[in-house]
Structure 1
Amino acid sequence: MKFPVISLLTIGIAVAYLSCASSTSSAPLPQIEPDTPIIAKKDTISIVAVGDIMIGSAYPDRSNLPPDDAIDSFKAVDSLLQGDIVFGNLEGCLLNNGKSTKCKDPNSNSCFAFRMPERYAGIIKKAGFNLLSIANNHVGDFGLKGRRRTTEILDSLNIHYAGLQSHPSSLFEKDSVKYAFCAFAPNENTLSINQTDSAKQLVARLKEQADIVIVSFHGGAEGARFEHVPRKKEIFYQENRGDVYAFAHAVIDAGADVVLGHGPHVTRAVEVYKQKFIAYSLGNFCTYGMFSLKGPNGFAPLLQLKINARGEFLFADIVSVKQDKISRLTLDPADNAFKKLRFLTNADFPEHNLVFSGRGHIEQKKN
């Protein structure tokens, strides 16, 4: 007669079970879920960041909307806007109608008030953006109505944002990583870049709640004459645009992991401070209509940043893009943004410990 083969492991489990049952017959056995996944935090976090985005304004009339109704605004870079975080500065409000009290003569070439049609938000979402700064000098071009409608639309699309006094920060989670975001500017109804102590307190509170804290600022003087980071307050058209160098260092001291700047409409230097990455200006990224795109205003970096789970800089790649009034946003085979960024970093931060190589790679020097 053949007997079934019983493994020693099976016998051992049975003996152990009977032993436990006899000694603690009233105690229930622990229930173990067999295939429960253990989720670990990511070792490497990918952040894609660009500067100003304003893909067409219907104010003062539809002549400032692109001929394709903005549908192909990001066509040249669609494949590059992919990461855990895809960030940009929304330079204007989302609003279908309304007049701006900012301009005495809305048809004047010196009046800049931006009102993107509300449907354009879907184009920005489809391109891949999931994090936007709305702290800038154009979010309030159409008053409370414009600010309120912008936040309603971004909420409806699940695009995270921050920068208004009514919405100073954002907390969210993605792939088991908790992110916090806050944004600053020198403009009315935004979080002030000039109140450093308040900024530090906010960042410190956010760091207690998040793994990675991202800070954005809209600051510094504008145009090709102001490419350098001066390490002092920048006064432009009698407005204090902040000391962006002191601000960036202060928020990192308070707990920020990445600092992303915009506002000057040109590329500025980058820096790694206490192992945390700072971009001082990401320039004009995708700006249709009344923006000047002459000279350095017409090219910008698309930043592909890698940090570790502690928020420390690993490396970055810069994809250079350019704009003109006819071709709009395209890749730049001459790599002007990367070359300018390298030149300015060497000039403004000669003590830096970075290596610039190839057509856009940045890493720290090996010890």
Structure 2
Amino acid sequence: MDNKKNTISFVASGDSFITRRLPSYESEFQQLSNLIKKADVRFTNLEVTTHNFEGFPSALSGGTWAIASPDVLKDLKSYGFNMLAWANNHTLDYSYGGLDATYKYLNQNEIVHAGVGYNLAEASQPKYLETPYGRVAIIAATSTYHEYMAAGEQRPDISGRPGINPLDYSIIHVLSKEKLNQLNAIEKAANVNGFYEQGVKEGILNKVNGDFQPFSRLLFKEGEKEGKYSKPNSRDLKRILGRISEAKRQADYVLISIHSHEIGGNSLDEPADFLKIFSRACIDEGAHAVIGHGPHVIRGIEIYKKRPIFYSLGNFIFQNETVSHLPSDYYEKVGLDNNHNVADAFDKSTKNGTKGFSSYPLAWESILPFWTMEGDNLKEITLYPLDLGFGLSRQKRGWPTLRKNEELLKRLASLSSKFGTTIEIEDGIGKISF
């Protein structure tokens, strides 16, 4: 590390669901770009595939089949980003051809990127950014994905499978003894577990741990405190922690990116139990920050062992309704046919903007944190509110602008207080001091 400067600065955003080119380098863009470029390390999460339809649409998608021209990567660089993750629920929207092309265009644009690879070892490996003030590693994973999207292990006798770095998890539902007996009676009456029981009998399926009662694909357990809890998959957790162990010996700083839609209670802004367990384990292993995104809203900030965990930074760019094409699967889902176009499809799916994210104001405001470290010590975090244009037409909303927003910061402060974090608010800007 350069002795002339013992501090290093970071800025991170949430999801960049970018499907349009920057219209101009206007003053609002310049103001935001200048702020981002003040940091040494500048991270965003790319939530689209970027290619010229080299891949065909997958049978399953992350919701919208997310595609954009590779030229949008130039716009992300114009903002100042020099590091990104792209392990998320849209990575394989255009199958392996889309993955391969996106990988190619990211490399052509010389952007450090992590979380996706041609086998599991590559998808999970740390990627490194060289700065004058320290070498920085990024490791990226996602807990929100279809099973086929997970990268496969390489073997001596066969190649691995391209895909994302997965963080799987299990959910346990807890019921009282009385209710568990009622559930068991319902299962017997409806023969919910017939296939499972026959599979176990024939040796095709593994028997569920005796502490749990299966109900279709759900697991139930007896307990006094009813509800649900989740925990990370031990194999995935071990693999990711092993990569952190490697990276902390190869770099001065280690960042973890995790894309996670899953919720802990009944609200998008509450992280799942497994995400909290995972994030703290990453810090325990040596990570310097955990950067969360995925639910398209902000979540609280935890300072754990003097390291930040951003459970979700919301959206940075959100242009999910201006993709150029959609496959027939999407049209069929909303009751349309080949005589219709993308505008028809989005009008129908959102009921002309009255349902979905287009009508949800919390998806259109978010936070951009800027923090500094001196050696291993976190010095200060400044929180800049962003506005993405709620209420504008779909072709105009989705670009971020800096806005002083005390109500947003108060909401973030309330969410963060659950983790013991205090956010000071002054003149529309938030600060966490140490």
The TM-score with structure 1 as length reference comes to 0.75
Q: Indicate the structure (1 or 2) with the bigger Cα radius of gyration.
A: 1
| 8 A Cα contact 2:33 2:78, kept in partner | no
1:247-286 to 2 correspondences below 5 Å? 247-286=278-317
Residue 180 (1) aligns with residue 246 (2): no
Which residue, 58, 75, 85 being the options, matches 1:101? 58
- Aligned partners of 2:60 and 2:243: how far apart in 1? 34
Structure 1 unaligned regions, length at least 5: 1-37, 57-65, 105-109, 233-242
Once the two structures are superposed, residues 291-317 of structure 1 have per-residue CA deviations (whole angstroms, 9 ceiling, x without a partner) of 82422111100111112222x321111
Which runs of structure 2 are paired with 1:120-269 in the superposition (5 Å)?
A: 120-164=72-116, 165=120, 166-168=122-124, 169-186=126-143, 187=145, 188=149, 189-194=163-168, 195-221=236-262, 225-230=267-272, 232=273, 243-269=274-300
1:177–1:201 CA distance, 2 compared to 1 (3 A): same
| Map of 2:361 onto structure 1 | 295
Partner AA of 2:425 in structure 1: S
Which amino acid in the other structure matches residue 297 of structure 2? V
Query: Secondary structure, in 3 states, of the residue corresponding to 2:283?
Result: helix
Is 114-123 or 282-291 further displaced after alignment?
A: 282-291
Aligned residues of 2:92 and 2:98 also touching (Cα < 8 A): yes
Equivalent-residue separation in structure 1 for 2:429 and 2:49 (angstroms): 32
- Cα displacement (A) at 1:149: 1.5
1:142-196 C-alpha deviation (Å, 9 max, x unpaired): 1111112212222222211100133432023210411111001023222122321
Alpha-carbon distance in structure 1 between the residues aligned to 2:387 and 2:43? 18
* Overall identity of the aligned pairs, in %: 26
**Counterparts in 2 of 1:131 and 1:224: CA distance versus 1, 3 Å:** farther
Q: Distance in 2 between matches of 1:157 and 1:39?
A: 27
TM-score, normalised to structure 2's length?
0.64
Tell me by how many angstroms 1:336 deviates.
4.0
3-state SS of the aligned residue for 2:384?
strand
Letter in 2 for 1:161: H
* Whole-angstrom CA distance in 2 between matches of 1:112 and 1:138: 8
Partner of 1:361: 430
Shift of residue 355, structure 1, vs aligned partner: 4.2
What is the DSSP-based 3-state SS (H/G/I as helix, E as strand, rest coil) of the residue aligned with 1:100?
Answer: coil
- SS of the residue aligned with 1:81? helix
* CA RMSD between the two structures: 2.5
Letter in 1 for 2:275: V
Amino acid at match of 2:43: F
Cα drift, residue 78 of structure 1: 2.0
Counterpart position of 2:331? none
> What is the SS of the residue equivalent to 1:88?
strand
8 Å contact from structure 1 (residues 42, 309) kept in 2 = no
**TM-aligned CA deviation for residue 119 of structure 1:** 1.2
Q: Verify the 8 A CA contact 1:270 1:277 in the aligned structure 2.
A: yes
| In the alignment, structure 1 residue 305 sits paired with structure 2 residue 279 | no
Task: Figure out how many residues of one structure are paired with residues of the other and give that number.
Answer: 297
Residue identity matched to 1:80: L
